[in-house]
Amino acid sequence: MPQFPEDPEAERKRIIKQRNLMLGGLLGAMAVLFYFISIARIGG
Amino acid sequence: MSTASAQPIPLPTDWRDFLSLTKPRVMSLVIFTGLCGLLAAPVSVDPILGFTAILCIALGAGGSAALNQWWEADLDAKMKRTANRPLPAGRMERSSARDFGVILSVLSVLILGLACGWLAAGVLAFSIFYYAVIYTIWLKPRTPQNIVIGGGAGAFPPMIGWIAATGEITLMPVLLFAIIFFWTPPHFWALALFVETDYAKAGIPMMPVVAGRHSTRRQILVYAVLLLPLAMLPFWITGGAGVVYGASALVLSTIFLMLALRVAVFRQGVGEADMGPEKRLFRFSVFYLFALFAALVADRWIMG
């Protein structure tokens, strides 16, 4: 990954957008996981 | 192009750098052995809870790996193998790595406790503390036995998997722990023998640097000798593994011992600079652990 690309601002926005997407995805996945854990615990 | 007066501002850390903090390659072995511990346990596990247990073992391993890299950033910068990691390469703030490691560690313990019980979560918490504090911060820079001690950290996953499934600590998960504990020194010392100069440069008291190659080779052999009966113990004890595992353990451990003998004793015709036997032992040691634990699971499924 280039550390100082020609358009740093565009690169900065791209990285932050990717990070936010990853974080949002992980939080969503965690919410789904908690839902299924609850079902499994109640079911068990 | 930047002008002489313009100071370039570093870019934010890419998510891939956070991922690499968790040492994904090491994690694959952790996930595999944890999964084997879970699947080899003599109970049926709810798939969601089983998945959660493995996820938490992986998250805990990732968290402790991040804490390890946070603490060892200066050492990593001195070794070619680790110099391009996010911290020594300057792609990440040290505090980010520390916070990331703490968050992953705490999350893994909490989720495992809620899903599979607090005994498994307690062992996971201890394994993270063991790797990040007892091994990384305290003993690794102080003793050439660091690999023996570090082996303990890598030995926890199958034990945690088993406890997550059964909710109790019995002899079998302790034996799984012991197998990885005794496997680790010959595995890492074989590696350390052919990357010796890198460790010496970083000032880490790795066995070949402190005790010399001859002594390291003898100790590799000692652990390989001990590993054979230890790997057979799950077959010998009542309620342990069956003949599929027993036969696999015997064959695999015998080959491991022969390769260790080649490293330690029968080096005729092999120059001191030729690290062929060490490389062969290292490569086989990785296969050994995968195959041994796969045999344990296969045995449980075939023999019931």
DSSP assignment string, B176-192 = HHHHHHHHHHHHHHHHH
Q: How far is B286 from B77, CA to CA, in rounded Å?
A: 26
Query: Is A19's CB within 8 Å of B12's CB?
Result: yes
0.80 surpassed by pTM? yes
Task: Note down pLDDT in tens along chain B; length 304 residues.
Answer: 444 455 667 788 899 999 999 999 889 889 999 999 999 999 999 999 999 999 999 999 999 999 999 999 999 998 888 899 999 999 999 999 999 999 999 999 999 999 999 999 999 999 999 999 999 999 988 888 888 888 899 999 999 999 999 999 999 999 999 999 999 999 999 988 887 667 777 778 888 888 888 899 999 999 999 999 999 999 999 778 999 999 999 999 999 999 999 999 877 666 666 788 999 999 999 999 999 999 999 999 888 7
- Residues B269, B237 contacting (CB under 8 angstroms): no
Q: Domain count of chain B?
A: 2
First to last CA, chain B: 68
> Which of A17, A33, A39 should be substituted to probe chain B, the one whose Cβ sees the most B Cβ atoms within 10 Å?
A33
Please tell me the distance from the alpha carbon of residue B67 to that of residue B73, in angstroms, as a whole number: 10
Do B82 and B217 lie in a common domain?
no
Domain boundary among B151, B168, B185: B168
Number of folded domains that form chain A: 1
Distance CA B162, CA B169 (A): 8
Domain membership flag for residue A25 = yes
- What range defines the domain where residue B178 resides? 170-304
By CA distance, what is A31's nearest residue in B? B111
Does some domain include residue A41? Answer: yes
Question: Residue B252: left if φ>0, alpha if ψ -120 to 50, beta else—which one?
Answer: alpha
User: What would the two tokens of residue B291 be?
Assistant: 């195959």
The pair of structure tokens assigned to A22 is: 């990853």
> Does A5 fall in a domain?
no
Q: Which residue has the tokens 């790595």?
A: B97
Confirm or reject contact between A3 and chain B (CB < 8 A).
Answer: yes
Question: Could you give the 3-state DSSP secondary structure of residue B172?
Answer: helix
Could B52 and A8 be called an inter-chain contact, meaning their C-beta atoms sit closer than 8 Å?
A: no
Nearest CA in chain A to B107: A30
Nearest to B219 by CA among B249, B193, B195: B193
Nearest residue in B to A18, CA atom: B15
